[in-house]
C-alpha cells in the first residue's frame, strides 16, 4: 500500500470506531481497499464496499463511517463521525431520534379493517401532505395497530451529536444531542433531507454533512450510467435560501419545465419538484494543521477559510457582488497567497501545492458595499463593546450555539431565552397599543437575554440599546449577528447607539439611567431568593420611566414584588405555554422548561 495511504489510515484520530480498527492493522488482509480521487483526496473502503474513512491529500480526516453487515441486503450505516472546519467532531446516528405517538382508534367504526395504507391516508390528511410522502417516510413497522385498536406511530429521524471528546465512546455528558433531520436511506441515498433545530448546528456542520452525503452518493452511483436524481423531501419541508445555496454547492438544481429552479424550490408545496443531480466539481476541503486552518475549494476557487484558533468563531468568505462579507471578514487569493481581511486587519499565508491549481480572486467592487456606509464600517462589530470585546477561547466562540436535550432533562437558562424573545417579537406586533409604545421607544435596556439579544432589537429606526450580558461567547455571537443585520439593511450608522456591557460592569454604572423599555431575565439561580426578587423589582422601577414597559422573566413569586414597586402587570404567561415552545415540543416532545417560569408584561404607573 502506498505510504500516503498508510500514513492517512494510521494518523491519530482518524479511526475511532472499533469495527474499523482491523482495517488500520492491515487493510488488505481485512478485505478493504483504498482509492485516490482526482483532487487527491483519499477514500478507504471495507469488504462491504462502503467507505469507512475519507481524508484530504495530506491524510487529515474528513469523516469516518461505521457499517454493520446485515443477514440480507446491503450493510447498514450505524454511526458516522464528521470533522468540522475548525477541528470539532460531530456524530451522526441514523434513526437516533424516534418519536412515538399512541392513538386509540377502538371507537372508530370499522377500525378492525384498517390497514397500514389506511393509517397513512389518515396521516396524510391530518398533516396536509401527499400520501406518497407519508409512504416514503413511514414504513410498515412505523404504523402499527394492535388487536385492541391501539395504534403506534413512530417518526424516525437521524440525530446529530456534539462529540466533545471526538468519539461516541465518551461518557454521555460529552456526547450531546444537537439537531436532527429526516431519516436518510444511507445504503441508497435518494433524497435531500430537512434539518430540524438547524440553528443549533455548530458552524460548518451543514457543508461537512453534505460532503459526506455527496461522497456516499458518488460511491453508490459509480457504476450506474445515469446518477439518481434527488429531491428535497420532508414532513414538512422548510425551503430557504440558505438550504438552496448549500444544496447547490454539491448538486445542480433543475426545474421540470426549465428556467430558474429557485422560485419553485422556495414555494413549499412545490419544493420537491426541483431535481438535484451531482455538481461537476463540488467543494473539497483541505486542512493545514501547522497553520490551524481549513480551506474549502470549488472549481479551483477558494470558497472559505477557517482558522481553528480564531477567537471570533468566524470563517473568512467571499465578499460577494455587494462587497459585503459577514462581519467584514473576507479574503482574496493573489499570486499564490491567500490574504485574509478582518476589517482593517490583514494577514496572509502561501497556497499549498497539494490543494491543486487555485485561481486568483476576481474582485468586482472591492469592499465598496461596506466602505460606503462610513462610520459603521470603521467601527466594526467589536465596537459594540466600547473597547476590546470579551476574551472568548476559540472553542467557546465556535461552540456558541444552543443545545437542547432530546429527553425530559430541563432546558437550561440561555436555551430557554429564544422562546420568550421570539414570542414577544411576534405577539407585540399584534397588540396595537404595545406596538405603538415600542415604536416610540428612544432608550431600551436588555438584561440577561444573552442568547436572544437580536430578537429584542427593533430595526425600524435608530434608538439607544444597552445590553447587559453574562455569557461572553453568546454576547459576542449576538453582536456579530446584529452587525450583519445592520450591514445588510445599510444602517451601520445606527450601531453607534448600541452598546454591550458586561453585567458586572453595568450593575456598577446603572444608577440614574432611565429607559422606555426593559427586557429583564432573572437568573435561574436567584429564583428562590426573596431578596433578589425585591431587588430586581426595585431596580426595574427605578430604571423605567413612567409609562414605560418592562418584559420580565422570573418565577410566579415575582408578581407581588413587581406590584409593590408600582409596576402594573398587564399579562402573565407561563413560558411552557408559549407557542414558540410548543413548536419546539413538536420536534422534541419530551422537552420541558423550568417549572414556574413566567413572562410578565408590565407597565410603570
Encode pLDDT of 317-369 as tens digits. Answer: 988 766 789 999 999 999 999 999 999 899 999 999 989 999 998 765 545 55
Q: For residue 33, what is its C-alpha cell? A: 481497499
- 507 sits in which H/E element: none
Please state the domain extents for the chain: 93-198+223-281, 284-372, 396-604
Q: Tell me 209's DSSP state.
A: H
pLDDT of residue 376: 47
Residue in 97, 78, 266, 311 with CA at minimum distance from that of residue 187: 78
What average pLDDT does this structure show over 466-485? Answer: 98
Cβ-based neighbours of 52, under 8 Å, separated by 6 or more: 15, 17, 20, 23, 32, 44, 45, 46, 64, 65, 66, 67
Cα–Cα distance for residue pair 492/324, rounded to 1 Å: 12
- Whether 377 shows a pLDDT value over 60: the answer reads no
- Whether 480 shows a pLDDT value over 90: the answer reads yes
Cα–Cα distance for residue pair 211/151, rounded to 1 Å: 38
Cα–Cα distance for residue pair 549/262, rounded to 1 Å: 43
At 252, the pLDDT band (50, 70, 90 cuts) reads very high
Helix axes 205-221, 241-250, angle to 10 degrees: 40
Return mean pLDDT, the chain. Answer: 93
C-alpha dist (Å) from residue 258 to 109, 228, 253, 381, 543: 48, 19, 10, 42, 60
pLDDT of residue 370: 54
Segment 52-94, tens digit of pLDDT: 999 999 999 999 999 999 998 899 999 999 999 999 999 999 9
Beta strand 464-469 pairing with 498-502: parallel
* Range list of H helices, 149-238: 205-221
Segment 522-537, tens digit of pLDDT: 999 999 999 999 999 9
Percent of the residues in the chain that have a pLDDT greater than 70, as a whole number: 96
- Whether 217 shows a pLDDT value over 90: the answer reads yes
Helices (H) and strands (E) in the chain, counts: 17, 28
pLDDT of residue 322: 63
Segment 388-402, tens digit of pLDDT: 899 999 999 999 999
pLDDT of residue 1: 67
pLDDT of residue 508: 47
Cα–Cα distance for residue pair 515/437, rounded to 1 Å: 12
Question: Taking CA 151 as the corner, what is the angle to CA 148 and CA 152, rounded to the nearest 5 degrees?
Answer: 135
What average pLDDT does this structure show over 469-474? Answer: 98
Buried/exposed code over 382-419 (b: 16+ C-beta within 10 A; e: otherwise): bbbbeeebbebebbbbbbbbbbbbbeeeebbbbbbbbb
Segment 24-63, tens digit of pLDDT: 999 999 999 999 998 899 999 999 999 999 999 999 999 9
pLDDT of residue 216: 98
Q: What string of DSSP letters covers 117-171?
A: HHHHHHHHHHHT--HHHHHHH--GGGEEE-TTSEEEEEEEEEEEEEETTSSTTS-
Q: Going by CATH, does the domain composed of 396-604 fall within 3.40.50.150? A: yes
Question: Taking CA 296 as the corner, what is the angle to CA 293 and CA 298, rounded to the nearest 5 degrees?
Answer: 160
- Whether 506 shows a pLDDT value over 60: the answer reads no
Write down how long the chain is. Answer: 605
pLDDT of residue 433: 85
Segment 255-303, tens digit of pLDDT: 988 899 999 999 999 999 999 999 999 999 999 999 999 999 999 999 9
Beta strand 515-521 pairing with 443-447: parallel
Cis peptide leading into 236, omega within 30 of 0?
yes
Amino acid at each position: 500500500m502506498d505510504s500516503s495511504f498508510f500514513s492517512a489510515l494510521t494518523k491519530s484520530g482518524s479511526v475511532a470506531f472499533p469495527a474499523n480498527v482491523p482495517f488500520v492493522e492491515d487493510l488488505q488482509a481485512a478485505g478493504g481497499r483504498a482509492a485516490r480521487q482526482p483532487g487527491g483526496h483519499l477514500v478507504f473502503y471495507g469488504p462491504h464496499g462502503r467507505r469507512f474513512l475519507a481524508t484530504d491529500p495530506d491524510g487529515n480526516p474528513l469523516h469516518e463511517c461505521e457499517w454493520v453487515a446485515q443477514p440480507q441486503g446491503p450493510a447498514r450505516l450505524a454511526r458516522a463521525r464528521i470533522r468540522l472546519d475548525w477541528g470539532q467532531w460531530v456524530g451522526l446516528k441514523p434513526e437516533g431520534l424516534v418519536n412515538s405517538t399512541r392513538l386509540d382508534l377502538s371507537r372508530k367504526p370499522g377500525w378492525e379493517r384498517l390497514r397500514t395504507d389506511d393509517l397513512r391516508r389518515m396521516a396524510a390528511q391530518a398533516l396536509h401532505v401527499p400520501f406518497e410522502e407519508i409512504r416514503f417516510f413511514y414504513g410498515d413497522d412505523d404504523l402499527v395497530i394492535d388487536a385492541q385498536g391501539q395504534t403506534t406511530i413512530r417518526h424516525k429521524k437521524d440525530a446529530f451529536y456534539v462529540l466533545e471528546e471526538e468519539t461516541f465512546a465518551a461518557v454521555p455528558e460529552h456526547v450531546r444531542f444537537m439537531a436532527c433531520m429526516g431519516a436518510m436511506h444511507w445504503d441508497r441515498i435518494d433524497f435531500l433531507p430537512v434539518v430540524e433545530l438547524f440553528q443549533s448546528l455548530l458552524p460548518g456542520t451543514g457543508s461537512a454533512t453534505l460532503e459526506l452525503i455527496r461522497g456516499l452518493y458518488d460511491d453508490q452511483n459509480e457504476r450506474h450510467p445515469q446518477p439518481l436524481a434527488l429531491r428535497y423531501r420532508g414532513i414538512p419541508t422548510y425551503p430557504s435560501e440558505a438550504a438552496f445555496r448549500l444544496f447547490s454547492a454539491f448538486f445542480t438544481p433543475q426545474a421540470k419545465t426549465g428556467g430558474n429552479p429557485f422560485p419553485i424550490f422556495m414555494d413549499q408545496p412545490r419544493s420537491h419538484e426541483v431535481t438535484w443531480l451531482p455538481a461537476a466539481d463540488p467543494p473539497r476541503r483541505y486542512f493545514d494543521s501547522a497553520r490551524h486552518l481549513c480551506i474549502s475549494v470549488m472549481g479551483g476557487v477558494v470558497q472559505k477559510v477557517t482558522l481553528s484558533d480564531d477567537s471570533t468563531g468566524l470563517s473568512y468568505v467571499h465578499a460577494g457582488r455587494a462587497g459585503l462579507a459577514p462581519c467584514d471578514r473576507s479574503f482574496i487569493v493573489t499570486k499564490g497567497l491567500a490574504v485574509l481581511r478582518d476589517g482593517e486587519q490583514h494577514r496572509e499565508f502561501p497556497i499549498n501545492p497539494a490543494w491543486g491549481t487555485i485561481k486568483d480572486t476576481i474582485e468586482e467592487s472591492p469592499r465598496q458595499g461596506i466602505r460606503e456606509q462610513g462610520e459603521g464600517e470603521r467601527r466594526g462589530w467589536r465596537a459594540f463593546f466600547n473597547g476590546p470585546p470579551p476574551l472568548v477561547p476559540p472553542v467557546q466562540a465556535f461552540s456558541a450555539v444552543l443545545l437542547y436535550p432530546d429527553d425530559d432533562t430541563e432546558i437550561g437558562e440561555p436555551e430557554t431565552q429564544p422562546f420568550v424573545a421570539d414570542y414577544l417579537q411576534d405577539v407585540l406586533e399584534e397588540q396595537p397599543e404595545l406596538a405603538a409604545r415600542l415604536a416610540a421607544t428612544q432608550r431600551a435596556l436588555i438584561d440577561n437575554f444573552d442568547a436572544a439579544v437580536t430578537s429584542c432589537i427593533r430595526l425600524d429606526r435608530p434608538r439607544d440599546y444597552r445590553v447587559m450580558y453574562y455569557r461572553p461567547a453568546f454576547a459576542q455571537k449576538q453582536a456579530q449577528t446584529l452587525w450583519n443585520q445592520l450591514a445588510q439593511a445599510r444602517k451601520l450608522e445606527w450601531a453607534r447607539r448600541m452598546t454591550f456591557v458586561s453585567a458586572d460592569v453595568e450593575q456598577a454604572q446603572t444608577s440614574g439611567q432611565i429607559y422606555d423599555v426593559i427586557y429583564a431575565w432573572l437568573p435561574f439561580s436567584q429564583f428562590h431568593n426573596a431578596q433578589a426578587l425585591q431587588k430586581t423589582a426595585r431596580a426595574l422601577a427605578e430604571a423605567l420611566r413612567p409609562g414605560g414597559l418592562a418584559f420580565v422573566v422570573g418565577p410566579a413569586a415575582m408578581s407581588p414584588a413587581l406590584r409593590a414597586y408600582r409596576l402594573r402587570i398587564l399579562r402573565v404567561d407561563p413560558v411552557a405555554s408559549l407557542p414558540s415552545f410548543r413548536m419546539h415540543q413538536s420536534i422534541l416532545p419530551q422537552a420541558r422548561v423550568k417549572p414556574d417560569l413566567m413572562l410578565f408584561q408590565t407597565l410603570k404607573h
